[in-house]
Structure 1
């Protein structure tokens, strides 16, 4: 377990509820995340953990309770403000990477910077630096179809962290990988996030992945419970 320093709360939820029709997907969940902290939410498929993740990221609107980012209730933000927040302050890693096939590895990694208006040369240089830290410097000009699944997922990690976001939301980030690649990607992901002071919300069904977090929660039938803090 890498050492971490939590200096201030950046993201919190208090008593949030989410429904899909008549189904109560998230039931009064409360959670807090501090700067540079890695929090894992584990549970079986259908337990509500991914729904909670997207509530915390402002993708799904809650119907009860409140989500705050740096003290600002997400419910008070308009669509454009939420989009800008997710673009500039948040990062995302998905189970299957979700890279754009027509772009090179380097261009995929640079995408958040380009969407934020950064000039291409500067964005590619920043992407190249992060890719180098993830052992992908020699693959910069390749397309996603020309690299392995584990390498694609590392590119997704680079894309999530290249703009030094405050929080990264990771939904089963190693779920599509074999155990060896999963361990490598997770190690590189969390090490880079911690070195940048980026907080991580990590959703997983794998107890080995959850064990790498600083704080662990479990979810069952939409109910969130905090486990004992990791030493």
Structure 2
């Protein structure tokens, strides 16, 4: 995935200004910056959730700006995964059903989807929670479930918006370790938005955003 000259405005206010970024298979890229700097806006532009006002986002040879709503929805459903700050689990569904949701939305049969969900939950140490509801698990467990849901369909790219921002330091470290380990084992690329330099330090590449302007950070020793 790559973006060139990406721009986004909220009314007359620029949120993303002429941003260039590239992401390769298996790579983890972190975007840091203060609240309101535009990093989440950039993330959702890259995911095709927010339409860019200028520039281009390319994924697997396709320009996201040339896709219609149905094609974009299919792309997000089948090739992208998402992890949000507060998990965003559906309270009416069990842990297992929440995890299987991307597969069910892609048309996979329920039994097969639940089997796949159980496997990824097991890899995250959550097998015993399969039949619980989101209200019956802790914050750290909830975020692990969100990670499982993002990875269950083996997406090419995972978009993570402050995935550990709602957790205490011990849970944040554990969840991040499990998330990145599983994503890398699947060969998924990860775009990680965070305000935490410790989280960003786990990435292969880092960018910083300020007032909508994106700049690459040099890695130490390079």
How far apart are residue 70 of structure 1 and its match? Answer: 1.2
Q: What is the distance in 1 between the residues matched to 2:163 and 2:107?
A: 27
Alignment of 1:196 with 2:172, yes or no, is no
1:138 matched to which residue of 2? 128
SS in 1 for 2:43: helix
Does structure 2 retain, via aligned residues, the 8 Å contact 1:214–1:230? no
SS in 2 for 1:34: coil
Alignment of 1:226 with 2:216, yes or no, is yes
TM-score relative to the length of structure 1:
0.95
SS in 2 for 1:174: coil
1:14 matched to which residue of 2? 4
1:101 matched to which residue of 2? 91
Does structure 2 retain, via aligned residues, the 8 Å contact 1:92–1:169? yes
1:80 matched to which residue of 2? 70
Deviations 1:55-99 (A, max 9, x none): 000001111110011121001100000000000000000000000
The one of 146, 152, 156 aligned to 2:146: 156
SS in 1 for 2:132: coil
Alignment of 1:30 with 2:30, yes or no, is no
2:113 matched to which residue of 1? 123
Q: How many residues align?
A: 221
Moved over 4 A (4+): none
Task: Indicate the RMSD between aligned Cα atoms, in angstroms.
Answer: 0.8
Check 1:108–1:222 CA distance in 2 against 1; reply closer, same or farther (3 A cut).
same
Gaps in structure 2 of 5+ consecutive residues: none
SS in 2 for 1:114: helix
TM-score relative to the length of structure 2:
0.98
